[in-house]
Amino acid sequence: MCIFVFIYKKLQEGGKTSVEVVGFENKKNASNVLEYLENSAIYFPDKEVYEDKNVSMTFKQVEETAQRIGTSLAMKLGRHREPIAVFMDKSVKAIVSFFGVLYSGNFYCPLDVKMPIERIQIIMDVLLPKIIVTDKEHKELAESFAKNSQIVLWEDISEQEIDKDMLGNIRMDMTELDPLYVLFTSGSTGVPKGVLLNHRVVINYMQWLEQNFEIDSTSVFGNQAPFYFDVSIHDIYGAIYFGAKMVIIPQSFFGFPVRLIEYMNEKRISTFLWVPSAMAIVANLQTFDVVVPQYLKQIMFAGEVLQRKQLDYWVKYLPDAVYANLYGPTETFVCTAYIRKGNEPEGQPLPIGVPIANSQALLLSEEGKEVEYGEVGELCMRGSCLALGYYNNPERTKLAFVQNPLHQRYPERIYHTGDLVRYDETGNLIYISRKDFQIKHMGYRIELGEIESAGNAIEGIRDCACMYNTKRKKIVFFYDGIEMETKKITDTLATRVPHYMIPGKVVYMKVMPHNANGKIDRAKLKELV
């Protein structure tokens, strides 16, 4: 299938500038993600592209509504490359609002309506948006934190008459390096960091996705991630890139995995990118003994480590599906990937693979030198995967995005991920631990992630995490699953890690705490240490 994008041309006539569509070009030359939406609206105008529990919209409906919103926002703001907050339920309307913000020449920041107001207020103090897009249902709540921001309602701006000339002129002034979105992640100082990514990052990822997976216009993306989590970018933009469809899976279904799989079959979901905890629920409750996905072809996961035994459960029932472990902090979106091929050794941690197209991994020592092949080093990335930096925080940006220390001949940014990795004998990167999970215990430098990897391989353990009690000098091992005697766990660990890595305390949890992104909530575990 060949998909094309608009080519715009500025015309001067009688002292007035106008814009006209003069032709089309292959999508590989896109410089703005909106071109993907416009392409698909030409070829699949009446095909549904986004669906939530209340509504679905076609490509043409999404394009026209987004252009109405874009026209309205551009008229109100009158400036480009400014942040606009979108405060709505996770819905089709929210996605269309994102595109509307892009049409106005600006970039969006998703704010979840379930997010604590205190956190939203902190984000607003950093973001300082001139406009907040919301709907009538959430207008009163938005007013509680709007401060100096103007609130505009979906119901009003989605009815605005489209000004094609204005939108065309805005597009002509945009480049692939312009900001696309800003997502706020937790900060070590307690202040959320606004990670700002450009169009180029998503364009590069979509092209890599097309080259490595058999996804096309018949595919159906099953969305699990909240829109303030970058994993959702895969679904939102994958749908318009491939001319496919994205279904927002109701969050409540992930607590009832049989109903979840039934719903996926009902919607004919064929591909997804989920956090491992969502996949783990299905495996741990033996869901496929009751019902099996009928249409799944590509199974991708990112955000945290998926345990080998949980993956093996999926592979047992869906042996013909393609499995991919995608890796990347928000600052790089997806920067490495491991695509599973055939049978693999049991008990070994899943690799995070190799860098995606137009990206390179550098494994550096604390002194900023490349480590020897097979040795552990901090993973640093360069290339098209890099974010622009942290919004409204130049000091923090300078600390994380730095000049490549391997040369000083010309400016070249790299990003310090803070993750310790090494290459295995097959040339794949293996995640070891967070740099800040490295401790000094009994005179040894220890990666807590290595203990976790060994613990997760123990039969009966569903999930585990290690923390360090610096006051008592003890490694504390938390786990859930089947409750066992402490000695059984420590004896098993002793067969896999050195004696100085054996935890001094083992804590059974009925349910391991997870944060909103599906990752183990280490802040809560730290309180229990």
DSSP 407-454: --SS--EEEEEEEEEEE-TTS-EEEEEEGGGEEEETTEEEEHHHHHHH
Residue 260's H or E segment, with its range, is: helix 257-266
Rounded to whole angstroms, the Cα distance separating 414 from 411 reads 10
User: Distance of alpha carbon 497 from its chain centroid, rounded?
Assistant: 32
Strands 179-185 and 193-198: antiparallel
Q: What's residue 13's pLDDT?
A: 53
Strands 4-13 and 16-26: antiparallel
Q: What's residue 498's pLDDT?
A: 77
What amino acid is encoded at 188 in this protein?
S
Rounded to whole angstroms, the Cα distance separating 400 from 256 reads 40
What tokens appear for 494 in the block? 């002793």
Q: Where are the alpha helices (DSSP H) in 104-245?
A: 117-127, 139-143, 154-157, 164-172, 199-212, 232-242
CA-to-CA separations, 518 to 102, 482, 514, in angstroms, rounded: 28, 21, 5
Q: What's residue 119's pLDDT?
A: 84
Domains and CATH numbers, the chain: 24-211 (3.40.50.12780), 249-432 (3.40.50.12780), 444-528 (3.30.300.30)
C-beta neighbour count of 367 within 10 angstroms: 7
Quick one: CA torsion of 506, 511, 513, 515, rounded to 10 degrees?
Answer: 150
Rounded to whole angstroms, the Cα distance separating 168 from 103 reads 9
Q: CA 267, 201, 247 angle in degrees (round to 5)?
A: 10
Q: Which residues of the chain have pLDDT under 50?
A: 1-7, 20-25, 188
Convert the pLDDT of each residue in 463-509 to its tens digit.
999 999 988 889 999 999 999 999 999 999 988 887 888 999 999 99
What tokens appear for 5 in the block? 């994008």
What amino acid is encoded at 198 in this protein?
N
Sign, CA dihedral 21-22-24-29, equals: negative
Rounded to whole angstroms, the Cα distance separating 91 from 80 reads 26
User: Distance of alpha carbon 271 from its chain centroid, rounded?
Assistant: 16
Strands 359-364 and 377-383: antiparallel
DSSP category for residue 73: H
CA-to-CA separations, 413 to 392, 404, 405, in angstroms, rounded: 18, 6, 9
Per 3-state DSSP, what percentage of the chain is helix, strand, and coil (rounded to 5)?
Answer: 35, 30, 35
Rounded to whole angstroms, the Cα distance separating 112 from 94 reads 10
Rounded to whole angstroms, the Cα distance separating 502 from 520 reads 21
